[in-house]
Amino acid sequence: MAEKECIRGTASRREKKKRKKIELEMEVLSETADKMAPVVGYFPSGYDPVAAGADPDIKLFRNKKKPNRLELVVRPDDCNVEFVGKSYAGEAALPQLCTYALGVVDKETQTLKIFPIAANKESRRQSINKKLNDPSILGPLEVGTDGNLNDEASKDIKEPLDRNIPPYDPSAVTPQSAYPLNNIIPKGERGYLKDILETLELEPDNARNAEFWESNYYPSFVIHRLSKLREIQDEEEKTQFACILSYITHLINFRKVAESVRRRKDKPDYAEAMSKFMIPSVVFQRFLTLFLDPVSNLISSEKSVLLICYVLVLTLHADDFLTDSTDIEKDLAIARDSLKPYFLQLGCKTDNPKPFQKSRMTLPVPLVFQGLKKRRFRRRGIFA
């Protein structure tokens, strides 16, 4: 028996050697904006939909709480048993060391075609570190972009004037024109700020609570203004308000990553900003330009102040220029007294509250930038 097994093993090795090598011409196909990439699933149960013969019933399900997770369900013809394909999306939603693709070999034409699969759209593929040295590769990473969108977005960008604050008009006669929204959120980026509206559609009927939105990394300020967003009937106004809330979200999450990177001593890595928080690539590219030092690739103290001012300006827009800073204090992890100087730097002032009400910040026009008053403290007879 042992001799027969040895002969069988030798024969199988000879059979492998007789296999002819095929020279293939490889073609890699990229994703297109108007088509969804193929969905691939494998079945741990051992079910083979091809060997089953008849065409099976195929359905694709998306997780309501985690929209980037897909499950492929196949039911054979004339059978009540459903086979669930193991989802690749759960793995691909995390930062990846590799990506998945579907290869199709045609022996007659001797070609190998490589197709991207749907899971790869939920992770942003390659290491984000490459973008720090070559920002030009950011464009192709975003599904459905126009080739000239980055150029269009850059035309709307105006740098701050002589103060470390967002672009402003010192002669403005209305708060809205004092910090023009088109200069804070360029028009070319607004097509990428639909995440909140899309998440609203995926939101379960019984999940209108903070837990669902917090699990998708939305800050308290945004969560507490979703009711206002739902009530807006005008589509243009609703879209603009959603863009403001989305930009606030991306700014706050980018700040978390940038501050974390600054505290670490290893090589700057901003992959989390796009893989975990899903910041759109065109928005991410602008954040890198606005808030990071071009030499160290770190956020400096001065740039951190600028980022916070961007957030506060957008909270003023969202609250019709009369805002209670309680939510944003929590999101930025900055106490009220420490956050007030940032508002003053923007030209804001404290609105006189009614009895038993918290003070709110407002923006008078034309802008008057108040200097911070130095306070005198008495410490054991010494004045400072």
Is the pLDDT reported for residue 186 higher than 80? yes
> Hey, how many other C-beta atoms are within 10 angstroms of the C-beta on 337?
8
* Choice between 12 and 210, residue whose per-residue pLDDT is larger: 210
Highest mean pLDDT among 113-127, 160-174, 287-301: 287-301
Average pLDDT, stretch 292-312? Answer: 92
Least confident range from 42-46, 109-113, 246-250, 284-288: namely 42-46
* Residue 105, both tokens: 């070999």
| Alpha-helix runs per DSSP H in the chain | 2-18, 89-92, 129-133, 138-141, 149-156, 175-178, 181-184, 195-202, 210-214, 220-223, 226-231, 235-263, 271-275, 281-291, 301-318, 326-332, 336-345
With 60 as the cut, is the pLDDT of residue 233 above it? Answer: yes
368 or 275: which carries more pLDDT confidence? Answer: 368
Say what the pLDDT of residue 281 is: 87
Residue 173 contacts residue 363 (beta carbons within 8 Å)? no
Residue 75 backbone zone (phi > 0: left; psi -120 to 50: alpha; other: beta)? beta
Lowest mean pLDDT among 120-134, 203-217, 218-232, 350-364: 120-134
Please enumerate in sequence order all residues whose Cβ is within 8 A of that of 292, keeping only pairs 6 or more positions apart, or say none: 258, 298, 299, 303
**For residue 21, is pLDDT > 80?**
no
pLDDT in tens, 324-376: 999 999 999 999 999 999 999 999 998 877 776 778 999 999 998 865 444 44
Of the ranges 30-34, 78-82, 166-170, the best mean pLDDT one: 166-170
pLDDT value of position 117? 67
What is the full DSSP assignment across 278-293? ---HHHHHHHHHHHS-
Cβ count within 10 A of residue 275: 20
Q: Which residue has the higher pLDDT, 254 or 107?
A: 254
The pLDDT, as a whole number, for residue 106 is 79
**Per-residue confidence (pLDDT) for residue 295, from 0 to 100:** 83
How high is the pLDDT of residue 148? 39
pLDDT band at 275 (very low <50, low <70, confident <90, very high): confident
Instruction: Give the C-alpha separation, 346 to 339, whole Å.
Output: 12
Q: Are 93 and 66 in contact (CB under 8 A)?
A: yes
Task: Read off the pLDDT of each residue in 262-271 and give the average, rounded to a whole number.
Answer: 79
pLDDT of the residue at 333 = 95
pLDDT, averaged across the chain: 74
Residues 126-166 pLDDT 10s: 444 444 444 443 333 333 333 333 444 444 444 444 689 99
Kindly state the average pLDDT of the residues 33-47.
62
Give residue 373's pLDDT: 45
| Averaged pLDDT, 312-335 | 95
In three-state secondary structure terms, 351 is strand
Report how far apart, in Å, the C-alpha atoms of 349 and of each of 18, 106, 162, 177, 291 are. 84, 70, 20, 17, 26
d(CA 127, CA 118): 19
pLDDT band of 207, cuts 50, 70, 90: low
pLDDT tens-digit readout, 59-117: 777 766 555 566 777 777 667 666 666 554 444 444 444 556 777 887 777 787 777 66
Confidence of residue 32 (pLDDT cuts 50, 70, 90): low
How many percent of the chain have pLDDT more than 70?
Answer: 61
Q: Tokens representing 203?
A: 């939101």
